[in-house]
Structure 1
């Protein structure tokens, strides 16, 4: 809707920051630009997944080209996660301090520069540095993208916060599948003698979507109206609502002019561990660590698992990885979105962890498959793991991390959660090749500890973030104080 058509509508009076949030939460404000912002935010998550997955298949060629040991290969693989830790911790605070829009645009620049740098890297040292910079962009992007998804969505019903925060998982798996599509296309396009360059073209292609987002930013992207209002600018919030939602938002003459919060030190981080949010923070972190460790070990190690444990060749490895992502992960992610409002994040996450635990135990018991039947059972167990991940903890751990907090600290909460659980991700990426080599199929017993930890965390506190209006409760608490 255009601004002119919005002006012809009855005015919607804004008197406080809570009015802005309630207008979005109610679903009364609907606009094509708001939907585009959600899609662009999911595009950022697409880039995160693509960049993290792009070296999953090519690490063997990188080891050969640069003469790397297992330790060196682990450093290349884990460097992006180390950068993501720093990017998430600091990026989450910046998202709350500077706003969602500025940080999101900075992310896209990180993605473009680092993707091209990785593709042209002359040695392992340059590749590690560029992957580290890419990781900083990935770490900064998750808090801002999830904040956009939460703050441009209604509280309940179709297109709700719960469904859209869960949709990040589908975007992730579509990106992972897209990465394998790119790899497969290059596999057939490049001569056999140039297959060692597959990883360079794959990584470099990651700059293209980021450039597209940068090109359309002026037409569609905007700041979060909830963030603008929460930071003392009701007039800007009204302008954003008018442009993005097509409503005739007007600041009332008797509006309560919010005072821009004074932030000294890191008060938002301290609030994460205050009486109101402490239990939610620890539960969200434990669930995140559990799902991230298991996912990284299985999903990013998928080509290694298929190639070594299932004894498959290069083309079959790429094909099986693609099929597992498309058939099991993407469909699971779609199911997780559709059931978010009906079943809730807690129940879907619990069922997902339970299925993962069973799948990993089956893989550990099968060991190295001896015969076609056992190979099919192993592939089915991998598929069940990825389906459960995408529909359960993979989709909804972000709901625990984002919907538990109000606008004023949402970015910080997401950044702390992401930065800390990236430690688990880094350990998984670094040690999986070593553990896989040393333990073979026995590595699945180690990975099985992750969903078990997630189940314990869920049973410790039955907290449901879907449908929870954190901003309203925070406003009530502030009024009492």
Structure 2
């Protein structure tokens, strides 16, 4: 938790700084289908053990595999990671900034002396309070709602796909794992479609479409419930799969990408960190909320309660504006001018 909490805001801010305004949202959104792929990979590790009825230590292999990915990420960071040119220009000397710019974009950057003093001005300190100033308050409210609502509905429902599948398939772990892989596969395809349509639709429309799909699935599940036993209905599993797909198409990417693209360089890291915090609060509540409420009021009512999340997010997206139109117009600006 500490590692992810420290790394994710840095990773998203780093990508937003390196990419142009035309492409940053599109390429940052790739995190969503990759997350679905990682879920498929993690669950697939458990499948051969389940087929051979060796289930007592499955969790050791699935959790331990994460260490392999962490080592790969660490090596790549050590080899290729660099400060962003924007950050360097504000916090380092011109020579250092020119070196970062040249290394990042493979350019020959020369700093010609102009007689000015290259002494760095006293660095202005930025904090969380700035996110709630008059200029950024509306953006921060929207970022908070989207991150919180998405993570709560995902961890309240999508994370419990195995539990819902088990209600349908009983103790058949192989069927439960296969259903989870299929649902995450659909989510990955939806995430890739969202990436492809990001530049055309924009983050707002992606979010609205995705939240609408999630809302329909939650309400539908709230009306039909889950039927297991001797005559199980697969409809709830399909609905959860489409809920994941809708989430991966818009709300998922929006929950993290939005903060990375709406804030300026000076507070981008703080903004993405705040977004991650709101998302993790939502995920913690969802993980605790779902089983407790499920036991108290049943699955139908639980789904209808969780449906409040996409409703609130849709209202926020329709109400709060963050200048997405001006970001699209920036495509007309040349890279030199940008």
Give the TM-score normalised by structure 2: 0.89
> Where do 1:212-291 residues align within 5 Å?
212-254=72-114, 257=118, 259=120, 261-263=122-124, 267-291=126-150
> Once the 2 structures are TM-superposed, how far is the Cα of residue 349 of structure 1 from its aligned partner?
0.3
Q: 1:246 to 1:381 in 2, by over 3 A?
A: same
| Distance in 2 separating the partners of 1:309 and 1:187 | 17
Equivalent residue number for residue 67 of structure 2: 207
Do the aligned partners of 2:91 and 2:120 also contact (CA within 8 Å) in 1?
A: yes
Q: 1:216 to 1:384 in 2, by over 3 A?
A: closer
Equivalent residue number for residue 178 of structure 1: 41
Do the aligned partners of 1:353 and 1:392 also contact (CA within 8 Å) in 2?
A: yes
SS of residue matched to 1:206: helix
Q: 1:185 to 1:346 in 2, by over 3 A?
A: same
| Distance in 1 separating the partners of 2:278 and 2:202 | 25
Q: 1:166 to 1:464 in 2, by over 3 A?
A: farther
> Once the 2 structures are TM-superposed, how far is the Cα of residue 269 of structure 1 from its aligned partner?
1.4
Equivalent residue number for residue 159 of structure 2: 300
| Distance in 2 separating the partners of 1:373 and 1:332 | 30
Do the aligned partners of 1:403 and 1:465 also contact (CA within 8 Å) in 2?
A: no
> Where do 1:79-94 residues align within 5 Å?
none
Do the aligned partners of 1:231 and 1:261 also contact (CA within 8 Å) in 2?
A: no
Equivalent residue number for residue 59 of structure 1: none
Equivalent residue number for residue 72 of structure 1: none
Equivalent residue number for residue 138 of structure 1: 4
Q: 1:437 to 1:245 in 2, by over 3 A?
A: same
SS of residue matched to 2:110: strand
Q: 1:185 to 1:258 in 2, by over 3 A?
A: farther
Equivalent residue number for residue 297 of structure 2: 439
Gaps of 5+ in 1: 1-134, 472-481
Equivalent residue number for residue 131 of structure 1: none
Q: 1:185 to 1:282 in 2, by over 3 A?
A: same
Equivalent residue number for residue 418 of structure 1: 276
> Once the 2 structures are TM-superposed, how far is the Cα of residue 220 of structure 1 from its aligned partner?
2.0
Equivalent residue number for residue 335 of structure 2: none
| Distance in 2 separating the partners of 1:466 and 1:256 | 38
Do the aligned partners of 1:165 and 1:396 also contact (CA within 8 Å) in 2?
A: no
SS of residue matched to 1:140: helix
Equivalent residue number for residue 336 of structure 2: none
> Once the 2 structures are TM-superposed, how far is the Cα of residue 337 of structure 1 from its aligned partner?
0.7
Equivalent residue number for residue 403 of structure 1: 261
> Where do 1:67-216 residues align within 5 Å?
135-156=1-22, 160-188=23-51, 192=53, 194-216=54-76
SS of residue matched to 1:276: coil
| Distance in 2 separating the partners of 1:256 and 1:363 | 66
| Distance in 1 separating the partners of 2:196 and 2:248 | 12
Equivalent residue number for residue 314 of structure 1: 173
Query: CA deviation digits over 1:111-132, x for unaligned, max 9?
Result: xxxxxxxxxxxxxxxxxxxxxx
* RMSD between superposed Cα atoms in Å: 2.4
> Once the 2 structures are TM-superposed, how far is the Cα of residue 338 of structure 1 from its aligned partner?
0.7
Do the aligned partners of 2:255 and 2:279 also contact (CA within 8 Å) in 1?
A: no
SS of residue matched to 2:20: coil
